[in-house]
Structure 1
Amino acid sequence: MLQIQGLSVHRGEGEQQHKVKLPKLRLQPGQVLAITGHSGCGKSTLLECIGLLLRPDSVAQYRLGRAQRDITSLLAAHTDDELAAIRARHLGFMLQSGGLLPFLTVAENIQLPRRLLGLTEQSERVTHALDCLNVSHLVGKRPQALSIGERQRIAFIRAIAHEPDIILADEPTASLDPHSAHTVFELFLSLVNELQMGALVVSHDWGLLQDFSLPRMVATYRQGETQFDLES
């Protein structure tokens, strides 16, 4: 689903510059991999770079999707339109805040990424996810009428609505109480496996990651640089 080698990116300039490095990453269908490290070490920067929102300074290989499309040359060639199209079709994003649009109903929020891609509004995957996450009865409501846990469930469904290959989640349970976090995360893992997507999750919740025995990319910090490696 995702194969990356030799990725490097930086934020800031001069003495404030901080480099983030990812020597290698391989994500299989149905696999969920956690990205961990202390606050400010570069986890979100890494996720943005993997998610084609931030251009890397260098990358030796970047292959994406079930077809393992090689987009390494596109990243080097500043082809923003092509990268945006790839990002919209093959990647799904789940934010800590949920990111639902308040002026749209739940159904309209979920349908939005499909409409932008010219896909039909009806989707068996969406219907199945609504049932699995027990939120089918909420589709006519607006986000402000939902609990935080309900909003996060809807945010996950919206992230998978256009049937992407990879889900990128940044602290998806940070605003939930421990019980709700465990429930939402369990359902998240179950659907990722069932739908054979891949998922990368940035999380500070060590207990939650241990409960589900997730493999982790761990940050090693040196002066002005963080490197992420798979925990042995």
Structure 2
Amino acid sequence: MLDIKGLLVARGEGAQAHRVRLNELHLEQGEIRAITGESGCGKSTLLEAIGLLLAPQQLNHYRLGREAVDVRQLLAENQQPALAALRSRQLGFVLQNGGLLPFLKVRDNIQLPRRLLGLSSRSRAVEKAVEVLRLEPLLDKYPQSLSIGERQRVACVRAIAHEPQLLLADEPTAALDPHNAQRLFELLLSLVNELGLSALVVSHDWALIDQFGLPRLGAVNGEGETRFEPLV
């Protein structure tokens, strides 16, 4: 589902530059992995590069999805329309700030990815997620009337609404109380399994990661560079 080798992405310039390196990552269909490390080490940068929001300085191999699309070639040829189509259809994002559109009600925010792709409005995965996260009373509200935690729960449902092949979640439980954080993790694991997705989840909540037995991609910090490697 996801196969990456030799990824290097940098932020900043000169003495302020910080490199983030991923030598190898392979995710099978239905597999979820946590990305961990101290604040500022580059976890979000890594997620953005994998999510095609940042162009890497180096990339040896990148295949995505059941069709094993050659992402490295698309990047090398600067095929922006094809990359945009890949992001919108194959990837699902959960951002730290939720990223909901303030002028759309909750139900319309959730449905937006499906509408943009011309998919039917009904989705068993969405209905299950709304039920598990208890979002029914919020569907006709606007984002500004929600708490931060409620917005994050809605953002998680929107991220899987179009049933992407790879889910990328940046601190999805940061604004949630322990009970809802656990419910959200349970939901993510269930949907990844049922829909045959793969998922990468950035998280500081190591206790929750350990509770669910998620394998980790951990940060190894060096001078001016962070390398992410599987932790045993």
Q: Assess same fold via TM > 0.5.
A: yes
Give, in angstroms, the shift of residue 97 of structure 1: 2.2
Secondary structure of residue in 2 paired with 1:102: coil
Q: Does the 8 Å CA contact 1:149/1:184 hold for their aligned counterparts?
A: no
How far 1:192 sits from its partner (Å)?
A: 1.7
Q: Which runs of 5+ in 1 are unaligned?
A: none
For 1:220, what is the secondary structure of its paired residue?
Answer: strand
In structure 1, the partner of 2:53 is 53
SS of residue paired to 1:114: helix
C-alpha deviation, 1:56, in angstroms: 0.7
> Does the CA-based 8 Å contact 2:129-2:187 persist in structure 1?
no
In the TM superposition, residue 133 of structure 1 has moved relative to its aligned partner by 3.0
Give 1:83-162 correspondences, 5 Å limit: 83-162=83-162
1:95 maps to a residue whose letter is L
Distance in 1 (alpha carbons) for counterparts of 2:136 and 2:61: 41
Q: Distance in 2 between matches of 1:169 and 1:82?
A: 22
Q: Which residue of 1 aligns with 2:208?
A: 208
| C-alpha distance in 1 between matches for 2:186 and 2:124 | 21
Mapped partners of 1:192, 1:15: distance in 2: 41
Q: How does 1:58-97 map to 2 (within 5 A)?
A: 58-97=58-97
Structure 2-normalised TM-score?
A: 0.94
When residues 37 and 54 of structure 1 are mapped into structure 2, their CA distance, relative to the original with a 3 A threshold, is same
Query: Could you tell me how far apart the structure 1 residues matched to 2:139 and 2:154 are?
Result: 9
Q: Look up the SS of the partner of 1:99 in the other structure.
A: coil
Counterpart amino acid of residue 33 in structure 1: R
Instruction: Supply the AA of the counterpart residue of 2:87.
Output: R
Most deviating of 148-157 and 3-12? 148-157
Q: Is the 8 A contact 1:49 1:55 kept in 2?
A: yes
Q: Which runs of 5+ in 2 are unaligned?
A: none
Is 1:231 aligned to residue 231 of structure 2? Answer: yes
- Provide the rounded CA distance (Å) in 1 between the counterparts of 2:154 and 2:41: 29
* Alignment match, 2:37: 37
> Structure 1 CA distance, aligned partners of 2:39 and 2:124?
38
Report how far residue 90 of structure 1 moved: 0.3
Q: Distance in 1 between matches of 2:207 and 2:29?
A: 25
Structure 2 residue matching 1:183: 3-state secondary structure:
helix
Taking the aligned partners of 2:24 and 2:121, their CA distance within structure 1 comes to 37
Aligned residue for 1:221?
Answer: 221
Q: In angstroms, what is the RMSD of aligned CA positions?
A: 1.5
Distance 1:120 1:187 in 2: 22
- 1:13 maps to 13
After TM superposition, give the deviation of residue 86 of structure 1 in Å.
0.7
Residue by residue over 1:132-152, the C-alpha shift from the partner in whole angstroms, topping out at 9 and shown as x without a partner, is: 333234322222333444322
CA distance in 1, matches of 2:60, 2:118: 33
- The count of corresponding residues between Structure 1 and Structure 2 is 232
Q: How far is 1:24 from its partner? A: 0.5
CA drift of 1:123 comes to 2.5
Structure 1: distance between partners of 2:163 and 2:211: 27
* Residue identity opposite 1:201 in structure 2: V
Question: TM-score if structure 1 supplies the norm length?
Answer: 0.94
